[in-house]
Copies of this chain bind each other. A is one copy, B any other.
Amino acid sequence: MSNDALEGLSASLEDYLEVIFHLEKSNRVARAKDIADQMNVQRASVTGALKALAGKGLINYSPYSFITLTPSGRVIAEDIIHRHETLKQFFIIALQLPPEEAEANACRMEHSINPNAVDRLVSLLEFMKICPRFGTDWFTAFARYCQKGSQTSDCEACVRDCLERIIACEKDDTH
């Protein structure tokens, strides 16, 4: 295996790998035509990308063959998709962006975020689920803040509700 496989992928090749992963999942194999359609490029451009990916040992490819991921290609593809999904969920859940916009941002930003930052985003999303300070009321308060640009909530009541929910929750646990 050449060293190429170890070097970072370009944004473009990451996109190809991601698309191949999804096509393989839905169709068992990926075909150049479908890759071209999904990526909005010409078929000829796909051939070049496939050669590059095959050269890095990330896909099984020979001319006119079907395309599948190699084990290392799959690992990398899953990492890319993990970045993508993490960003997308962050945009949808934490920032409350419309799903299409979340998707578009994730799609572009997935190529430049580093592993640590992804881990932290994952932690934040998990933390927002388990920390009682977050909850429907937090999300609506933030949404309101985004719209009006000023805090309009009754903070004391909001936090009091939050506390009561925790206490109720703890009582539930003892049942």
If A109-B109, A116-B97, A170-B156 touch, whether A145 touches B163 (CB-CB below 8 Å) is no
Within 8 A of B (CB), among A98-118: 101, 104-105, 108-109, 111-114, 116-117
Chain A 108-130, CB-CB to B under 8 Å as 1, else 0, gives 11011110110111011011001
**Is the CB–CB distance between B163 and A156 below 8 Å?**
yes
Judged by a CB distance under 8 angstroms, whether A61 is at the interface is no
Q: How many copies does the complex hold?
A: 2
Total residues of chain A contacting the partner, CB 8 A: 45
**Is the CB–CB distance between A112 and B112 below 8 Å?**
yes
Within 8 A of B (CB), among A36-68: none
Interface-lining segment among A19-27, A71-79, A131-139 = A131-139
Taken together as a complex, chains A and B put the C-alpha atoms of A116 and B62 apart, in Å, by 43
Q: Which A residues contact B (CB, under 8 angstroms)?
A: 91, 94-97, 101, 104-105, 108-109, 111-114, 116-117, 119-121, 123-124, 126-127, 130-134, 138, 141-142, 145-146, 149, 151, 155-156, 158-160, 162-163, 166-167, 170
